[in-house]
Amino acid sequence: MQLDSISFAQRQRLAYIDFCLLFKGAIHRQDLINRFEVGLSAGSRDFNLYKDLVPANLEYDAREKRYFQTAQFKPLFEHDAQRTLTKLANDISDGFDAIGDIHFPVEAPSSLNIPDIFIVARLVQAILNNKAVSVIYTSLSSGSGARELVPHSIVDNGLRWHVRAFDRKSQSFRDFVLTRMSKVTIKTSPDTHELAAQDAEWHRLIPLQLVPHPKNVSFPTAIEMDYGMENSQLLINVRAAMAGYLLRRWNVDCTERGTLKGAEYQLWLQNRFTLRNVDNLAIAPGYDNV
């Protein structure tokens, strides 16, 4: 049977099964029934049809009463990496992008680096199932090598996607760029000190006080309108682990007196000296210039 001969509604349900197997590693029949509000018999037919189309993709565990991804799994649908990551980031994990959405006339800047969807899927599986992973990672400082990580979040930092994880080599929580991973193998469950709850910089919120740049902007009202400022400032709370990425993405001048020159620096971080011991701020424009 060809996919294009199946009704649109059933293709949606098959795509959901495919998506859950790829990203979660498993799916209950009740997950499909609850998501699409179909009857038990209809849900059973969908799983039977999926198994007819790709019999090597799943196996049923009678004890746990759910279907698991097999080692031979190959997605039935094409899952576009950029769109799927966006949906995951916005908690829209329905698998619909496997069968095509309405294309709205909206453009975004081109992405120069798109992660391997199978690397992303394996990391998501590890996070959802509370597992550690072994990866082959290529860093700028030490080249390629094996690392053992305990991932807890996948993040778009504005320029690239990375995973926030406990690194067993350095015994610390760090960020790892997804496109620098060439292999991911799921390992055993982590120890307590490796869990997300112990990632202090992830849970710590810090205030950023952003104002129009005091020297590069001739008409600050325009900047105030751009960012919805009140009383000529924008005060936001961000994760300490993410602050530097945000400041770099928006070209926020983080020098002591707003001394960076250039039209790209339209914002200034006014409260830089109230921020202490935030490692991620080292990548912010001008933060380490004083």
Answer with the residue of higher pLDDT: 111 or 247. 247
**Structure confidence at residue 159 as a pLDDT band (50, 70, 90):** confident
Question: Which region among 73-87, 95-109, 197-211 has the lowest average model confidence (pLDDT)?
Answer: 95-109
Task: Specify the pLDDT at position 290.
Answer: 44
Task: Specify the pLDDT at position 3.
Answer: 82
- CA 18/CA 255 separation, integer angstroms: 49
Q: Do domains 3-98 and 117-198 have the same CATH topology?
A: no
**Structure confidence at residue 289 as a pLDDT band (50, 70, 90):** very low
* Domain-wise residue ranges, the chain: 3-98, 117-198, 204-283
- CA 77/CA 6 separation, integer angstroms: 13
Task: Specify the pLDDT at position 112.
Answer: 76
**Structure confidence at residue 215 as a pLDDT band (50, 70, 90):** very high
Entry pTM:
0.84
Per residue in 245-255, pLDDT tens? Answer: 999 999 999 99
Task: Specify the pLDDT at position 277.
Answer: 84
Residue type, 203: H
* % of the chain surpassing 90 pLDDT: 76
Per residue in 24-76, pLDDT tens? Answer: 999 999 999 998 999 999 999 999 999 999 999 999 999 999 999 999 999 99
- CA 90/CA 137 separation, integer angstroms: 27
**Structure confidence at residue 201 as a pLDDT band (50, 70, 90):** very high
Question: Which region among 50-64, 80-94, 130-144, 264-278 has the lowest average model confidence (pLDDT)?
Answer: 80-94
Q: Which two tokens stand for residue 163?
A: 């995973």
Q: Which two tokens stand for residue 227?
A: 């960012």
Per residue in 181-199, pLDDT tens? Answer: 999 999 999 999 999 999 9
3-class state of residue 37 by DSSP = coil
Answer with the residue of higher pLDDT: 6 or 3. 6
Does 3-98 carry CATH code 1.10.10? yes
Task: Specify the pLDDT at position 2.
Answer: 78
- CA 122/CA 254 separation, integer angstroms: 37
What is the DSSP-derived secondary structure letter of residue 190?
A: P
**Measured CA angle at 239 (ends 22, 157), to 5 deg:** 50
Does 117-198 carry CATH code 3.90.320? no
Q: Which two tokens stand for residue 204?
A: 């710590």
Contacts of 170 by beta carbon, 8 Å cutoff, 6+ apart: none
DSSP calls for 241-274: TTHHHHHHHTTEE-STT----STT--EEETTGGG
Quick one: how many helices (H) and strands (E) in the chain?
8, 12
What is the DSSP-derived secondary structure letter of residue 66?
A: E
